[in-house]
Amino acid sequence: MRYVRLLGLFLKANLLVELEYRANFAAQSALGILWAGLTFVSVAVFFTQTDALGGWTYEQALIIVALFTIISGAVRFILEPNVIRIVEMVRTGAMDFVLTKPANSQFLATLRYAQYAGLADIAAGGAIIGFALHRMQYLPTPLAGIQFALMLISALAIVYSIWLVMAALSFWFVKIDSLSELFYALFDTARFPVTTYPGLVRLLLTFVLPVAFMTTFPAQAMLGLLDGTTLAVSLGLAALLVLFSAWLWQRAVLGYSSASS
Amino acid sequence: MSFMVTWWLRKYIALGKAGWALIMEYRAQVVIWMMSSLLMVIMLLVWLSISSDGAVNGYSSADFITYFMVGWIVRNLTAVWASWELDFNIREGRLSPMLLRPIHPIHNDVAVHWVEKLLRLGIVMPIAAIVLLLTPEVHLDFSPLNILIFLTSIIGAWLIVFLSDYLVGMLAFWTSQVGAFINGFFGIRLVLSGAIAPVAMFPSAVQEVLRWSPFPYMLNFSVDVAMGRLMPEALLTGLIVQWGWALFFICAAWAFWKIAVRSYSAVGA
C-alpha cells in the first residue's frame, strides 16, 4: 500500500516536471506519433505487394504493429528514463542516495522517473488497434480479451525484466550506456509476425530472445487464436524472468561499492 | 592552387589522425551503433519470405539480397551523428572555442565521419561479400565506368545525408528540442531513402514524387547503380538530380550557418 502511494507521488512529481518543460513534452509526443506512423508504413509497404505476411493478413499484422508501438511507448514512458539514470548514477556514485532511502532499491531505481510523452506512443498504438478491429469488423470475445490482457501483462513484465538486467549489468560493466541500442535493434524484429522469419531465426526469436512473446503471441490472443499452452508458457516465462532479474539486481546492489570512495 | 590543395590536405590528414584515435577509443560503441542498421537485415528477411513464391515487382530473391547487402554498405557509409554533437556543443556553449579556430568546425566533423567509415567498412564489407558470394544469380555491374559512377553516387549520397542532417542540427541555434527533429528526420530518411524497401515497391504515385526529392539519392540510387538496373538515360538524370541536391545542400548549409552564427550567443563562459 505504501508503494502504491509512493508510485502515485512519483508520477505526480514527474508530471509537474513535465509541465515545466512543455516544449519538450510536445516535441517528444510528436516524435512518438511520427515513429508510430513510420512503423505502420514499414509493415504496410509489404501489403502493397502481397496479401499475407507469414500467414497474417494486413489487419491482423496491424495488431502486431500496434503492440510494437504500445511496448515502445511503455519503454519510453518508464523504463528508458529510469535505466538511463541508473547507469549514470552507478558511474557517478549517486546510486548511494538511492540505496540509502528506506524503500526497496529496485522499486526506487526503476519506477522513480517517467517521461509522459511515451503515452503518445501508447495512444497511437491504441488507435491502430481500433482501426484494425474496425476494418475486420471483429470484436474480441470476453475470453479473448482476458487472454490478451494476461499476455500483454506478461509481455510488459518480460520487457521490464530485460531492462532491469541491463541496469544490473551496468554495476559490473560501467561503460554500458549503449545497451539500449542493442535492445532496440533486436526489438525491431517484433514489428512483424514471428512466422515471417525463416526457421532458425524464428526459433531464435521464440526460445532464445523472447521477442515472439512481446507482440506475436499477444496479438494472437486478441484475435482469439491463442492456445492454452502458449498462454501458460508466457506467464511462466514472465514470472521466471521477473524473479531472475530481481535476483540479479540484488546481487548487483550487494556488490556495489560507490564510485568516489 | 596546388598550395591550397596541400594546405587542406595537411589539415585533413591531421584531423583524420586525431579522429582515428577518437574512433579507436570508442570502437565498441561504433559497433553497437552499427546495430541500428540491422533493421535492413530484418527487412531483407521479410522481403525474402514474400519473394520465395516468385519475383515481387521485378525483384527476385537474389535481387533482394543484393539490394539489401549493397544498401547496407551504403547506409553504413552514410551514417551520420554530427547533428547530435552540434546540438550538444551549441547548448553547452562549447561551440565558442571552436568558432575561434582558423578552420570551420564542420571540417573536423567531416574528417571524423570519414575515418569512422574505415572501421565500419572493415566490418560490413566482409559480411556483405560473403553473403553475396554465397547467393547464386547476383547481378552486379563491375565495369570500370560503372564503378566510377557508383563511387560518384556514394559521394553525392554522403553529401546529401551529412549536410541535410547538419542543417537539422543547426536548428539548435534557435530551439532546445533539436533531438526530436534529428530523430524524426532520421526516421523519415530511413523509410524514404529505400532502407526498408526498394523505392520500386512503393505505389507509383509516391515513386513519382520521390524521384525528384533528395531521399532516394541517399541510398536507393547508389544501389540501383551498383546493380546496373538503370538505363543510360535514367542514370544520367539520376546523377544530375543527385548532384543538384548535393549542391543545394552545400549552399543551404553555408547560408544557414552564416545567419545562425550571427544569432548565436554562447551559453556559459
Task: Walk along chain B (269 residues) and give the pLDDT tens digit of each residue.
Answer: 788 899 999 999 999 999 999 988 888 888 888 888 889 999 999 999 999 888 999 999 999 999 999 999 999 999 999 999 999 998 888 888 888 888 899 999 999 999 999 999 999 999 999 999 999 989 899 999 999 999 999 999 999 999 999 999 999 998 888 999 999 999 999 999 999 999 999 999 999 999 999 999 999 999 999 999 999 999 999 999 999 999 999 999 999 999 988 888 765 54
Q: Are B93 and B269 in contact (CB under 8 A)?
A: yes
- Evaluate whether residue B179 is within a structural domain: yes
- Evaluate whether residue B240 is within a structural domain: yes
Chain A contact set for B35 (CB, 8 A): 181-182, 185
**How many contiguous H segments (helices) and E segments (strands) does chain A have?**
12, 2
| Grid cell locating A243 | 524473479
Chain A contact set for B45 (CB, 8 A): 196-198, 201
Q: Which of B36, B177, B202 is opposite residue A23, by nearest beta carbon?
A: B177
Mean pLDDT of A31-40: 95
B56 touches chain A (CB under 8 A): yes
B49 touches chain A (CB under 8 A): yes
B36 touches chain A (CB under 8 A): yes
Contact A192 B50 (CB under 8 A): no
B55 touches chain A (CB under 8 A): no
Contact A53 B39 (CB under 8 A): no
pLDDT for res A90: 86
- Evaluate whether residue A46 is within a structural domain: yes
Mean residue pLDDT across chain B: 92
Q: Which of A31, A54, A197 is opposite residue B180, by nearest beta carbon?
A: A31
pLDDT for res A173: 79
Chain B contact set for A178 (CB, 8 A): 29, 32-33
- Evaluate whether residue B30 is within a structural domain: yes
Mean pLDDT of A52-58: 94
Q: Please tell me the total count of domains within chain B.
A: 1
- Evaluate whether residue B269 is within a structural domain: no
- Evaluate whether residue B268 is within a structural domain: no
Q: Please tell me the total count of domains within chain A.
A: 1
pLDDT higher than threshold 60 for residue A222: yes
Mean pLDDT of A212-233: 95
User: What's at A151, amino acid-wise?
Assistant: M
Most distant CA pair in chain B: distance in Å? 64
- Higher model confidence: residue B148 or residue A96? B148
Mean pLDDT of A172-183: 75
Contact A46 B46 (CB under 8 A): yes
- Evaluate whether residue A69 is within a structural domain: yes
Which residue range is the domain that position B150 belongs to? 2-263
- Evaluate whether residue B250 is within a structural domain: yes
pLDDT for res B269: 42
d(CA A197, CA A113): 36
Q: Which of B39, B183, B197 is opposite residue A45, by nearest beta carbon?
A: B197
- Evaluate whether residue A261 is within a structural domain: no
Chain A contact set for B175 (CB, 8 A): 23
pLDDT for res A163: 94
pTM here? 0.92
Q: Are B254 and B186 in contact (CB under 8 A)?
A: no
Q: State which residue of chain A sits closest to B55, comparing Cα positions.
A: A49
Q: Which of A42, A48, A192 is opposite residue B191, by nearest beta carbon?
A: A42
Mean residue pLDDT across chain A: 92
Query: If you write DSSP's letter for every residue of B1-61 in order, what string do you get?
Result: -HHHHHHHHHHHHHHHHHHHHHHHHTHHHHHHHHGGGGHHHHHHHHHHHHHTTS-BTTB-H
For residue A164, give the nearest of A78, A46, A92 by alpha carbon: A78
If you count them, how many residues does chain B have?
269
pLDDT for res A92: 85
Q: Which of B45, B50, B196 is opposite residue A49, by nearest beta carbon?
A: B50
pLDDT for res B267: 57
pLDDT for res A174: 64
Question: What are the backbone angles phi and psi of residue B121, rounded to the nearest 5°?
Answer: -60, -40
Contact A35 B187 (CB under 8 A): yes
Contact A27 B38 (CB under 8 A): no
Q: Are A27 and B180 in contact (CB under 8 A)?
A: yes
pLDDT higher than threshold 60 for residue A261: no
d(CA A205, CA A158): 14
Which residue range is the domain that position A49 belongs to? 2-254
- Evaluate whether residue B128 is within a structural domain: yes
Chain A contact set for B49 (CB, 8 A): 53-54, 196-198
- Evaluate whether residue A259 is within a structural domain: no
Mean pLDDT of A178-195: 89
